[in-house]
Amino acid sequence: MAQLSRRQVLLASGAAAVVALAGCGDDTPDKKDLDRNRTGAMDKYGIGDQFKATEPVTFSILYNNHPNYPLKPEWLFWTELAGRTNVKLDPVAVPLSDYEQKRSVLVGSGDAPMIIPKTYHPQENSYVSSGAILPVSDYLDLMPHFKDKIEKWKLQPEMDTLRQEDGKFYLLPGLHEKPWQDYTLAVRTDVLEQLKIPSPTTWDEVYAMLKAMKAAHPDVIPFSDRFGKPNPAGNLLNMLALAHGLPGAGWNYQPTSWDSGAGKYVFTGASDGYRQVVEYLHKLVAEGLLDPETFTQTDDQARQKLASGKSFVISTNAQTLVNDYRPDIAKINPNARLGKILFPVGPAGAVNPATRLENGVMISSKARDGKNFVAMMQFVDWLWYSDAGQEFAKWGVEGTTYTKDGSGKRTLAPDVNVIGLNPKGTKHLQKDFGFYNGVFAYGGKLDLVQSFFSPEELEFQKEMNARKAAPWVTPPPAPLSDSEREQTTLWATALKDHVTQNTLKFALGQRPLSEWDAYVSELKGKNAQAYIDLVNKAYDRYRKNHG
């Protein structure tokens, strides 16, 4: 899930700067000549309306082809979508492993499809100055469901973090009613019972648990993690960063962090919080509690170690627990049990560190001049942001893939399976029908987001949502100008590489922790301070302009 920044010239100041988006001037520009772009559009399209183009239309879309459910032209998703909306999607399929690189090539060459989903902020930033993607905030009047959810769920502060220096935002993110923290640790609960220790609730207790496991099983390295490529220890680093009050690290690397005490941005990889993260990792590796191969091994290697009893702890989310680990273990050790622990609490306290924004959709600037532009924006609004479109994308067709009772409770059809809910089902909701597809199905009401959750997962989310929201997931805006963004981009890769390489060295003991200050000086030599100075300059500029 990656995470966020930027903004609009608002019409008010002070506290009034976070008024409803409709009042911020978002959807006022460029209306005068949309009359030429309304072919296929509905004359009256509002909240709760089913979008259906007035004539058949086709929109090209960049399609992230997931290996777990490879694209099939015969999916019910395509035919049912066309029947409901009069829209045919023309997918440009790109393998999941090449998606970001291929997207950059297509956008940069001007050959990108009209609709570009699966974009994680701030990935859109690199396309803004070229004019290749549309300032979608100019067209919110065409998207009633999107606007309604932002206003109803009070998402304006989160949306403001997406704005660029021109005050516009260029990404339509997935919108959640509530934060959704999915990733945490999976632990062999039968081993905990044998050792007579409770499920850990903090990172200090995780350390104590690993120590106890190691003492009882000296030949086992208790924690061997997956998600080690392409970012070493990608998920583990991110979870530790969040627990230390940082916006992200590892596979959610965030170069800057807001220091509320100092009232300014700092460079994440040089911060005191990040130093504590590195020290914790070093301690685990040095004491034989964390497998050094965590930083480089494949997911399959990590899964095999867990299944064979060579490890007892691994990163997880709800789906991997059910789809991967439990079946793996059951083949080798039917008596073993694995459970998902609550996200461990760190120095930042008992918070839910998830944001309410998710990956989203960019629109090619070329689409603006197309005769079907208004219809396309109405279609995007319906499929990704209306209650009906979100339910369709996730559950499919009532009476075919699921049923719904009088109370609104949805149940998969008896012959349809997904994430182990109907193990005897002969058809798969994703593989055979194309629903619950990560390109189309994300965000929504809490009830919809949790509608595939097991009782175990519902309890996990209930406890996570009882925690207060983490304030640092919605930092104050610091929108960079085009020239500032260009400059920071020149510095960013070398800085990220240095942080990544030295995190690995410190954790593995290849570089002594006593050299932390030298490492920070090296970052300054690679323009970390200049980077932060530009970000803080942008923050001050915005604050002065908008109160």
Closest by alpha carbon to 24, among 121, 122, 137?
A: 137
Say if CB 96 and CB 66 are below 8 A apart.
yes
Beta bridge partners of 403: 411
Closest by alpha carbon to 272, among 505, 491, 520?
A: 520
Structure confidence by residue, pLDDT tens digits, 476-529: 889 999 899 889 989 999 999 999 999 999 999 999 999 999 999 999 999 999
* Residue 153, token pair as written in the block: 């769920």
Q: Is the peptide bond before 122 cis (omega within 30 degrees of 0)?
A: yes
Rounded to whole angstroms, the Cα distance separating 384 from 275 reads 40
Q: By CB neighbour count within 10 A (0-12 exposed, 13-18 middle, 19+ buried), where does 506 fall? A: buried
Pairing of strands 184-188, 87-95: unpaired
Residue 347 backbone dihedrals phi, psi, to 5 degrees:
-60, -25
Place of tokens 């306290």: 349
Q: Which residue has the higher pLDDT, 115 or 123?
A: 115
Place of tokens 């995470």: 3
Say if CB 429 and CB 412 are below 8 A apart.
yes
- pLDDT for the residue numbered 85: 98
Say if CB 183 and CB 340 are below 8 A apart.
no
Structure confidence by residue, pLDDT tens digits, 342-379: 999 999 999 999 989 999 999 999 999 999 999 999 99
User: Which H or E run includes 286?
Assistant: helix 272-286
Structure confidence by residue, pLDDT tens digits, 31-71: 558 999 999 999 999 999 999 999 999 999 999 999 989 99
Closest by alpha carbon to 377, among 18, 123, 72, 135?
A: 135
- pLDDT for the residue numbered 208: 98
Residue 25 backbone dihedrals phi, psi, to 5 degrees:
80, 10
Confidence of residue 231 (pLDDT cuts 50, 70, 90): confident
Share of the chain above pLDDT 90, in %: 80
Share of the chain above pLDDT 70, in %: 94
Given phi > 0 = left and psi -120 to 50 = alpha, else beta, which region is 408?
left
Say if CB 185 and CB 316 are below 8 A apart.
yes
Closest by alpha carbon to 507, among 255, 301, 296, 304?
A: 296
- pLDDT for the residue numbered 30: 52
User: Above 50 in pLDDT, residue 1?
Assistant: no
Confidence of residue 319 (pLDDT cuts 50, 70, 90): confident
User: Above 60 in pLDDT, residue 18?
Assistant: no
* Residue 329, token pair as written in the block: 């273990």
- pLDDT for the residue numbered 13: 26
Rounded to whole angstroms, the Cα distance separating 316 from 182 reads 8
Structure confidence by residue, pLDDT tens digits, 128-147: 989 999 999 999 999 999 99
Please state which of the ranges 5-14, 40-49, 268-277 shows the lowest mean pLDDT: 5-14
- pLDDT for the residue numbered 26: 53
Task: Compute the mean pLDDT over every residue in the chain, rounded to the nearest whole number.
Answer: 91
Say if CB 237 and CB 503 are below 8 A apart.
yes
Beta bridge partners of 267: 256
- pLDDT for the residue numbered 21: 38
Pairing of strands 256-259, 264-267: antiparallel
At 470, the amino acid letter reads: A
Structure confidence by residue, pLDDT tens digits, 148-198: 999 999 999 999 889 888 889 999 999 999 999 999 999 999 999 999 999
State mean pLDDT over 2-30. 35
Residue 20 CB neighbour total at 10 angstroms = 12
- pLDDT for the residue numbered 547: 63
- pLDDT for the residue numbered 262: 93
Say if CB 91 and CB 117 are below 8 A apart.
no
Say if CB 9 and CB 541 are below 8 A apart.
no
- pLDDT for the residue numbered 32: 52
Q: What is the largest CA-CA distance in the chain?
A: 73
User: Above 90 in pLDDT, residue 23?
Assistant: no
- pLDDT for the residue numbered 167: 86
User: Above 70 in pLDDT, residue 83?
Assistant: yes
